[in-house]
């Protein structure tokens, strides 16, 4: 495309306060994921120092990564289809750049990224259920660890089952909404 400087993006051309407010809703939900790092604070050596560092550091790092990617994808779609209408924007950009051979690699990377997000969710959810079981908020069986591996296997199994049902419902109803 030539230059990586996109003056229309840098000037926030086409942006509005209404659009910012719509984005704030998404950002509020995203911060829930960062807050989950605090649930592992009791495992840190110096939790009063390390947990805030971890939460703030992850917000800054992921925020910079998101900004970089949003800028690049918006620039990559310039003159092509609308970014919002693309079901696979990174693969489409590879095609626009005449690098269609990278589409399978991009798809595998997106799959691995999605898998890691799901694993992080399982880690947080099962540990939360484990803590609730240990504190007797729910049945104490969830507060026990595996005798050999010392993992919260019961809490993880129940949380994985709940998420599996949830994902099946999402996939089953995806076309009807």
Inter-helix orientation angle 17-35/103-134, to 10° = 60
Inter-helix orientation angle 153-172/103-134, to 10° = 130
Predicted TM-score of the model (pTM) = 0.62
What does the pLDDT read at residue 137?
Answer: 92
The tens-digit pLDDT sequence of the chain (177 residues) is: 567 887 778 787 877 888 778 777 767 666 666 666 666 666 678 888 888 888 888 888 888 988 888 888 888 888 777 787 888 888 888 888 888 888 889 889 888 988 887 887 788 788 888 989 999 999 998 999 889 988 889 998 998 898 889 888 888 887 654
Residue indicated by tokens 């120092």? 49
Question: Tokens standing for 50?
Answer: 């390390």
DSSP E strand boundaries for the chain? none
């Amino acid at each position: 495309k030539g230059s990586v400087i996109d003056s229309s993006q840098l000037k926030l051309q086409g942006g509005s306060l209404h659009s910012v407010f719509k984005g704030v809703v998404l950002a509020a939900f995203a911060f829930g994921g960062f807050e989950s790092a605090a649930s592992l604070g009791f495992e840190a050596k110096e939790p009063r120092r390390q947990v805030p560092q971890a939460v703030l550091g992850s917000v800054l790092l992921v925020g910079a990564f998101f900004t970089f990617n949003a800028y690049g994808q918006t620039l990559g779609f310039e003159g092509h289809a609308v970014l919002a209408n693309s079901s696979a924007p990174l693969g489409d950009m590879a095609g626009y750049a005449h690098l269609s051979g990278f589409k399978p690699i991009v798809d595998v990377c997106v799959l691995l990224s999605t898998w890691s997000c799901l694993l992080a969710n399982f880690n947080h959810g099962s540990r939360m259920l484990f803590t609730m079981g240990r504190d007797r908020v729910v049945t104490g069986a969830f507060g026990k660890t595996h005798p050999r591996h010392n993992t919260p296997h019961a809490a993880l199994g129940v949380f994985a089952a709940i998420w599996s049902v949830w994902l099946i419902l999402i996939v089953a109803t995806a076309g009807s909404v």
